[in-house]
Copies of this chain bind each other. A is one copy, B any other.
Amino acid sequence: MDVLVFESADSAVADVVDGSVVLVGGFVSAGTPSNLILALKRGGQTGLTAVANNIGLGDLLDELCEERQLAKVIATFAIRASGTRSSRFEAQYRAGEVELELAPQGTLIERLRAGGAGLGGVLTKTGLGTMMAEGKQVLELDGEDWLLERPLRGDVALLKAWRGDRQGNLQYRLAGLNFNPVMATAADLVIAEVEEIVEAGEIPPELVGTPGIYVHRLVQCDPVPVRWDG
């Protein structure tokens, strides 16, 4: 089935409702849906939970803090161990205005994968004996302890790929994959920004990183330069 091609990032995210859980692909500058994040800023939706690898100084996700659109962030990088400048998110976090749930990267991706793959959870050793295990179930199996991590899904996923075809197939570029392919499986509404929209068949079957059935909306955008500062 053909994917819906939107004319602008703004129109693609316009009907995202307040309070949505939004999965945001990307890893620092790579594969980050910058245009969709900025469109969400212009859209003004509030009470959002953002699930993303990083929300640091210079991250566009931090822009959503300008008008306090984020109620909660689930991330792996959030507050730096040192440095004097701080992000908007950091300031709001310290003021108790936004909630933070930090997750180990390998656990965050497995939770999202479980959410997309119909699994009820996975057992990991990561986080055992640390703050990350607080409030979570530990299973002892054959004399070994394992931490049970539960699935995580979004109402919406915002992705960035290099090219998308009219069936929604996505091709990623270099290290632009990161969280995008798994997040594509784990949200009810999947919106991808791509640098180029091509006809079905132009992306070789071996190079499809996200099959089109996961993608609902596509929008062509010129990439926004990103410079990260942690």
Contacts and interface: CB of A to CB of B under 8 A. Distances in A.
A221 B86 CA distance: 58
Nearest to A139: B120
Interface stretch (A58-66, A94-102, A121-129, A191-199): A121-129
Tallying the copies of this chain within the complex gives: 2
Most buried by B among A120, A141, A206: A120
A120 B123 contact: yes
A122 B121 contact: yes
Contacts of A124: 118-120
A146 interface: yes
A114 B122 contact: yes
A110 interface: yes
The contact size tier of chain A is 20 to 34
Interface string A106-134: 00001000100011111111000000000
B121 A141 contact: yes
A141 B124 CA distance: 17
A103 to B, nearest CB: 15
Most buried by B among A123, A125, A146, A205: A123
A125 B114 CA distance: 12
Nearest to A142: B150
Given A141-B150, A206-B207, A125 B121 contact: no
Contacts of A141: 120-121, 150
A144 interface: yes
B125 A122 contact: no
Given A150-B141, A207-B206, A123 B125 contact: no
A151 B121 CA distance: 14
A139 B174 CA distance: 40
Given A207-B206, A207-B207, A144 B123 contact: no
A144 B121 CA distance: 12
B120 A119 contact: no
Top 9 A-B residue pairs of the complex, sorted by shortest distance between their CB atoms:
A120-B123, A120-B146, A121-B123, A119-B122, A122-B122, A119-B124, A119-B123, A120-B141, A206-B207
Given A114-B122, A120-B123, A122-B123, 4 more contacts: A110-B119, A118-B124, A119-B123, A120-B144
